[in-house]
Structure 1
Amino acid sequence: MTNDPLLERAQQLWADLAGAPVTFTESAIEVVASPQSLLCPPGWVGIVALGRAVIATAPDDGTAEIVRHALKDLSVTGVIDSAAVCDRLPVKETLGPATLAYCDAAGFHPAESSGVETISADHADMAALLARVPVEDADESGLAGITSPAFVVRTGTDVIAAAGYRSWPRHTAHVSVLTAPAARGRGLGRVVATAAVLEALNAGLLPQWRARPAASRRVARALGFRELGSQLSISLMPAGSAQRS
């Protein structure tokens, strides 16, 4: 058990998402079979490191044993290093690693958020923003899945930055932020994210920021989010397939 309340809440969240009894144990890697795991896409292996502990889920007992044996002597850092994992397992595809960061009211450093407008998540101007950015940026942001209102900044009538959050289990707010490419570098991500995080904290929720791009991670750190761990998902080649040479 950790003495860090923020880390403890994050670990409880991901243990629940594992879909099978599993525990974050310091300096250990616990692997369980869980076909219903939400740590990764269906049929994949999901790995989450938080603090100095790691949990992993596999779609069946046989795969869990393979993963357990392959990863047992890796460090916490090594377990979420896709190159290190690919050296140990016949990996077909990877997602991540993505950094997991969290914030509480005491650590939050809000930006000045005057000029932010609140609109519904399904507003046509949100769809227009998502349509204007590269598909990979829209997907990375997760903005299409928010359940909160959207907090936006406009130029004229166009939304150029937006943020919100999706409600997750254990009173968690999974934060999403997106800025149009032409408007980046002006701090607008911090501005709209401030409004979304304030909304979450005022509702008693735990803000979570999951990110791969360095720019997104910088925004989170500037707002006071603490990087507590990482998430990696891997798809393994079918048994009998030729392994990577």
Structure 2
Amino acid sequence: MTLDPGTIAIIQLAWSRRLGLADDALAEAGDGHRIYSVRDESRRVSFVRLFGSEVFCGPEWAAERVRGKSADELTRRTALASLSVEYGGRTVESERLCFADSFPGPVEPADEVAVAEDQEFAVQLQRRCPPDDVAEAGLAEKEQLFVVVDDSAEEPVALAGAGYTIRDGIIADISTLTAPDARRRGLGRYITSVAVEEAMAAGLIPQCRTPLDNLGAARTAAGAGFVAVGVRSEVQLSV
């Protein structure tokens, strides 16, 4: 599965702006070329590889330490943190960047369920999930929400949810959260596909950022039609 060249161009434009670069920076960089955006006042160090182009952002001392290191080295979960130990480097994110530009094929859950768009169900779902999963998804804060609800009981129960926030006017940043006792039933994949369809119907490009060490999230994204085309790592500095 591949992305349309027009979709790629828009993603490159959006991410160039997000990284504080010229609009055509990523499109013009070329495969394997690395851009260094040096900002000595920055309290964060980040590395992005997208469609083969690479961007490093951070202070000069950090830029000197990553020169000569490969993309594989820099996208390991603790790589940037290890390079900035004396500056209090703490890993914030280490993730795959995935996008979709075609409607997913039929994705139906094993059981008949209802879909709600009320934030109260997203909040209820978060209460049923581990804190780390809740923080990772940030579901209740999304601008658009879609939650799978079991309404067969007297009190409806939220089972899984997906939602998106619009970034840079064109990217729909999607995340998914599934209750532990509702996993392995196809509910996460189903509700993610709903969010993808709704985002595309609104003229947006769906984006999904999955943690590098979360294979379940990667499978859910792939099942909903996402293509992994990049990686991003970031650490926060405290010194």
The TM tier, using the shorter chain, reads 0.7 to 0.9
Contact 2:160–2:188 under 8 Å retained in 1 = yes
Contact 1:119 1:149 in 2 (8 A): yes
Q: List per-residue Cα deviations over 1:144-169 (Å, max 9, x = no partner).
A: 22101323232531111111111111
The superposition leaves residues 71-116 of structure 1 with CA deviations (integer Å, 9 ceiling, x where unpaired) of: 221222222224444554436211231111000126x334126634
Give the aligned partner of residue 35 of structure 2. 30
What is residue 93 of structure 1 aligned with on the other side? 90
**Paired amino acid for 1:119:** E
Instruction: Tell me the distance in 2 between the aligned counterparts of 1:224 and 1:234.
Output: 29
Give the alignment partner of residue 64 of structure 2, picking from 65, 69, 85: 69
CA displacement, residues 115-137 of structure 1 (integer Å, 9 cap, x when unaligned): 342323x2x22211111211111
| Counterpart-to-counterpart distance in 2, 1:9 and 1:210 | 17
Inter-CA distance 112–89: structure 2 relative to 1 (3 Å threshold): same
When the two chains are superposed, the root-mean-square deviation of aligned CA atoms in Å is: 2.6
* Deviation per residue, 1:168-195 (Å, 9 max, x gap): 1141111121110011111100111111
* 2:149 counterpart (135, 148, 153): 153
Is the CA contact (8 Å cut-off) linking 1:99 and 1:210 kept in structure 2?
A: yes
* Aligned CA distance change for structure 1 residues 82 and 137 (closer, same or farther; 3 Å): closer
Deviations 1:21-40 (A, max 9, x none): 4722221221214599xxxx
Structure 1 unmatched ranges of 5 or more: 37-41, 239-245
Which consecutive unaligned segments of at least 5 residues does structure 2 have? none
Distance in 2 (CA, whole Å) between partners of 1:6 and 1:170 is 14
Instruction: Give the distance between the partners of 1:198 and 1:19, measured in 2 at CA.
Output: 30
Q: What amino acid sits opposite 1:30 in the alignment?
A: I
User: Percent identity among equivalent residues?
Assistant: 25
Partner of 1:164: 163
- The alpha carbon displacement at 1:215 in A equals 0.2
Q: TM-score normalised to the size of structure 2?
A: 0.83
SS at match of 1:233: strand
Q: Which residue of 1 aligns with 2:19?
A: 18
For 2:230 and 2:218, the matched residues in 1 are separated by 12
Instruction: From the superposition, tell whether residues 218 and 76 of structure 1 become closer, same or farther in structure 2 (CA, over 3 Å).
Output: same
Residues 180-227 of structure 1, C-alpha deviations (whole Å, 9 max, x = no match): 001111110011111111100111100001011110100111122110
Alpha-carbon displacement from aligned partner over 1:42-75 (angstroms, at most 9, x marks no partner): 72112211121111222xxxx1x22222222122
Are 1:174 and 2:170 matched, yes or no? no
Which residue matches 1:129?
Answer: 125
Q: Would you say the 8 A contact 2:159–2:179 is kept in 1?
A: yes
SS of 1:185 mapped into structure 2 = coil
Quick one: distance in 2 between partners of 1:179 and 1:35? 40
Following the alignment from structure 2 to structure 1, what is the Cα–Cα distance between the partners of residues 142 and 220? 19
